Structure 1
Amino acid sequence: MPEQTPTPPPGDPAPVRTAGRPRDAALGTGLGRVLLLVYGTFALSASARALVQISTHFAEAPLAYLLSALAGAVYLAATVGLAVGGSRGRLIALVSCTVELIGVLLVGTLSIADRVAFPDDTVWSRFGSGYGYVPLILPFVGLWWIWRHRPQTTDSAQS
């Protein structure tokens, strides 16, 4: 006897499915797992770096060290958002990746244009050159991944 798909209660929208699984589940699969690993690694490394810099020699480059702490918080939020999924997680990840992109572009530009303001590097200095430019590429990949796995309305799913 074939397995029947349960019908949602009246008034509840049917979950959008992709390749036999809910669309949200796709956020944490394949490349999504790699993104979680990279974001988690950057959250840990940027936060640890900022903690050491702030606690040992904050007066040398306060702006750079506070920006490293901000980067750590942004990476942590993106990690949580991608891991949680759903509409709330997606929003957290979307905002985090957008802030990350603006931050890496702004800090990258300022760190090249005004070396006096950045006597020490941040994660985002020179567009993440100290990290193989991964901080520059990561928000683009993250935003693309979130967009690619966005929920679709029932109307567009049926078209």
Structure 2
Amino acid sequence: MAEPTTRPRDAALGSGPGRVLLTVYLIFAVAAGARALVQIATKFGEAPLAYLLSAVAALVYIAATVGLAVGGARGRVIALTGCSIEMVGVLVVGTLTVTDAAAFPDDTVWSRYGSGYGYVPLVLPLIGLWWLWHNRPRDRA
């Protein structure tokens, strides 16, 4: 009889907080992607920078979602990269939208540090990075 296979600890998203984190990332990927597609298709000329930044945010959320779902070494690198880019994006875009609001005639997902989404875009990468750190592979030597 074959032995059951188990996923390594760093990829254990099957239940609990890991599954919630994955679900939130998936929801944000869909929400940001849908928002960007509608904005780009219907009113791109009004605020192209804002709408393209929303599309970038959607791609980052997709990458983080895929990385968390895949797990293992490759998934971990993808998720770490996605969460890190997301954190930088939220801080940079958030700061720019606060200090130079005229440059952003319409909101992005990351405007004012994600205030339009209850500041979840600001907190989510912190939770994602914490999760990846907390569930990192340990040396077994």
Report the TM-score when normalising by structure 2: 0.93
| Aligned equivalent of 1:51 | 37
| Aligned equivalent of 2:136 | 150
Deviations 1:101-125 (A, max 9, x none): 0000000000011111111000000
| Aligned equivalent of 2:77 | 91
Q: Classify the secondary structure of the residue corresponding to 2:13.
A: helix
Selected match of 2:123 from 112, 126, 137: 137
| Aligned equivalent of 2:16 | 30
Q: Classify the secondary structure of the residue corresponding to 1:130.
A: helix
| Higher-helix-fraction structure | 2
Distance 1:97 1:25 in 2: 15
Unaligned runs of at least 5 residues, structure 2 = none
Distance 1:24 1:145 in 2: 9
Distance 2:92 2:8 in 1: 37
Unaligned runs of at least 5 residues, structure 1 = 7-16
Tell me whether 21-30 or 116-125 shows the greater mean CA deviation: 21-30
Q: Classify the secondary structure of the residue corresponding to 1:121.
A: coil
Distance 2:83 2:37 in 1: 22
Q: Classify the secondary structure of the residue corresponding to 2:103.
A: coil
Letter in 1 for 2:66: V
Distance 2:137 2:69 in 1: 16
Q: Is the 8 A contact 1:64 1:122 kept in 2?
A: yes
| 2:56 equivalent to 1:70 | yes
What is the aligned length? 138
Report the TM-score when normalising by structure 1: 0.83
CA drift at 1:25: 4.2
Q: Is the 8 A contact 2:94 2:113 kept in 1?
A: yes
